[in-house]
Chains A and B, each alone.
Chain A
Amino acid sequence: MSTSEDQNGERRLTLLRALTHGRTLFSILMFSIFFVMVMLAIPYDWPANFLPFVIGFPGMALTLLQIIVDIRDFFASKGQIDPRTDFEKYMAEITAHTEGLELDYAKEQVETLVEDHSMVAKSRNRQELILFGYFFFLLGIVLLFGYWIGTPIFLFLFLRYYAKESLKLSLMITAGVWTSMYFILVIVLEQIIFEGFITQFVVDTYLTD
């Protein structure tokens, strides 16, 4: 009894793990996009809903099949899916076959990756979150304070705290990039770029008659 339960338990756990693995989750996300778009198209009059249906239903079917393929791949690899992209694997292959070429994808790194995928995947996921955090911070700060205030703040913080550049270099790069862009876009081309909600509010409330 206990053996059978363990086996069932292990299978259930693995299926859950397969469904929550990044690859499968992404396929589920793609399926959801098609599903939501098809559902939203139902109330539209013909012919506005014609092509969304013609494209959406096959899209849903294909992504469902992809989910099954992902789950199958997960089981086949015993949960140890190589986190590298196809291009990285391709580059690693080149490295393995080319002597003297100093690539980032060194042989040792490749071997480490093959040995323990889950460790590398975890470290990658953390890096991804940090980088996306910075990217969304950039979008947020530009939306709130505008391009000309937001970008130098983002640039300086990224250089100083993510790239760990020196204070002097971070300030120099920030000042150089900002000045050259401002000169070309605002002074020469007279482009008006989004000023940000808070900046606009402050200008409208306090700085205009």
Chain B
Amino acid sequence: MIDTMMSTLVQLLTSGYAMYMLMLGTLIGIFFGAVPGLGGRLAIAVTIPFVFGQPVIAGAVFLLAMHAVTGTAGQISSILFGVPGTGDDAATIVDGYPMAKKGEAGVALGASLMASGIGGVIGAIVLAVLIPVIEPIVLKFSPAEFFFLALLGITFVAFVSGSAIFKGLVVGFYGMMLAFIGMDPQTGIARYSDEFLFLWDGMDLITAVLALFAVPEMIHLGIKGGAISSVSKEMAQTGVRAQFKGCVITFKHWWLVIRCSAIGAFIGILPGLGGSAAAWICYGHAVQSSKNPETFGKGDVRGVVAPESATNSKEGGSLLPTLFFGVPGSSGMAILLGAWLILGIQPGPMMLVENLDLVWILIWALVISNLAAVIILLFITRWVALLTFLRGGILIPCVLIITVLGTLLAKGQWENLILLGILSVIGYGLLKYDWPRPPFAIGIVLGKIAEGSLHKAWALWRWDFFLRPLSLILMAMIIATIAFAVYRGSIDKRKRS
């Protein structure tokens, strides 16, 4: 095993063309990740014709590197402007953007890049370690466990709501209600969508996130005046030192990074949950496990580190079912799977026997591309961070047209512009009247998963789905989480009084 591991690393590093393709994929991935609305799926779709006819290793490495680093680049606009590159980056806004407002954009970027890099590497390690034992674990997860896992994520609403648990629950429920829009898979009824065909597929997550976070923040910036950063350029932390400080801070929170990376990789392994779920569950976990949760949402670096390490480690995890079962772990992986099939790679259990070299090369490609992306972005972002000092009057229209672009590119439907307008008003209301917004994203991401899994589990086992061993474990975790939230709430109340 170790022989194969090392020989494949040497093979990749000494193959000039494969390395060239890896670096090219990394650069293109950074671009697609950084522009809101583009994302990894579009990157693969656009470049499939380019890899057609390429050598298998070079083509596969190119596509994987490109897909793997989009999440790393997506955090830039999330932190600097409150505009997520993809839906997976939305959780980073909650604390990343307030950090930029406090003049700590450099620290936030440094921390998030380092967390992404470490997360990506840990994801690859998880992939490597789990190769021999993965099959029985994945097969243990059924819709019942998915339902309880989604429910566990939803209980984190209690933690990400700060002191406004009451309002947080309402916003979380509101997100879940919006998640129910669209064709009900059980009955075929087009809920809340009637003749609006664009809603049959459900509410577009990118549109909802842009409306809830990006537009309200820009309107608020216009009212506040000045630049995003409230701190003058001289006093702010944006340069190399700040980025270095951010990197060091990430290592200070090493245990949180490792935990969130492991959770992210695990969620990646389970098909259907996706990167947004990984990010929000880990954000909730960071708040829940913190001794001073009141600092979250106001620019706490842990709120940046946790989701970023999770979204990147998820990529390593989601490679497992994609490569060995032919079941893509996410929609991005589904497109990647298609592209690999075009290249002549046949995913399935036989990959372990016939193509183990290729598997290891892909794992190494994941590690190298993540590290390369972190290094490249650490160089670039110090200048990009200066945009937080640009006058709001110039920045606001540019961010608004990028928001509109993201909405149009996400699904290619003009109707989403109307949704963007309506939801932006509600999003601004939430911001203005201090309703916590993160529960909305948790609700909309996990509501759909919870509902789909609940119906499937009910159809399969009726009441017995509560009694499955893994269900019982997850239920115990949910009860423990709620009990902990109540306990901590009462402690906080006592402290305040």
Contact = CB atoms under 8 A, between A and B. Distances in A.
B177 A34 contact: yes
A16 to B, nearest CB: 19
Interface residues of B, number: 70
Interface string A116-152: 0000000010011001101110110011000100010
Contact of B400 (A103, A135, A143): A135
B170 A63 contact: yes
Given A48-B184, A48-B191, A103-B231, A131 B226 contact: no
A176 B400 CA distance: 16
A88 B393 CA distance: 20
A22 interface: yes
Instruction: Please classify the interface of chain A as helix (H, G, I), strand (E, B), loop, or mixed, using the class held by over half of its residues.
Output: helix
B298 interface: yes
Contacts of B235: 100-102
Given A47-B186, A163-B394, A131 B166 contact: no
Contacts of B254: none
Contacts of A48: 184, 186-187, 189, 191
Interface in B412-428: 412, 414, 417-418, 420-421, 424-426, 428
A138 B401 CA distance: 8
B396 A52 contact: no
A165 interface: yes
Contacts of A37: 177, 192
A102 B414 contact: no
B174 interface: yes
A27 to B, nearest CB: 8
Interface stretch (B285-293, B312-320, B431-439): B431-439
Interface stretch (B19-27, B83-91, B114-122, B215-223): B215-223
B414 A124 contact: no
Contacts of B420: 139
A139 B16 CA distance: 48
A30 B391 CA distance: 34
A204 B31 CA distance: 34
B397 interface: yes
A55 interface: yes
User: Which DSSP category, helix, strand, loop or mixed, fits chain B's interface?
Assistant: helix
A102 B184 CA distance: 53
A173 interface: yes
A145 to B, nearest CB: 12
A183 interface: no
B408 A44 contact: no
Contacts of A193: 405, 408-409
A135 B427 CA distance: 14
A7 B197 CA distance: 55
Interface in B113-141: none
Interface in A154-209: 154-155, 158-159, 162-165, 173, 177, 181, 184-185, 189-191, 193-194
A17 interface: no
A58 B170 CA distance: 8
B232 interface: yes
Nearest to A27: B433
Interface in B26-70: 35, 46
A13 interface: no
B401 A151 contact: yes
A-B residue pairs, 6 tightest by C-beta = A163-B393, A59-B173, A158-B397, A48-B184, A102-B232, A48-B187
Given A47-B186, A52-B191, A138-B400, 5 more contacts: A52-B177, A55-B173, A58-B173, A85-B431, A90-B298
10 contacts: A34-B174, A44-B187, A90-B298, A91-B102, A132-B428, A139-B418, A147-B405, A163-B397, A190-B46, A194-B417
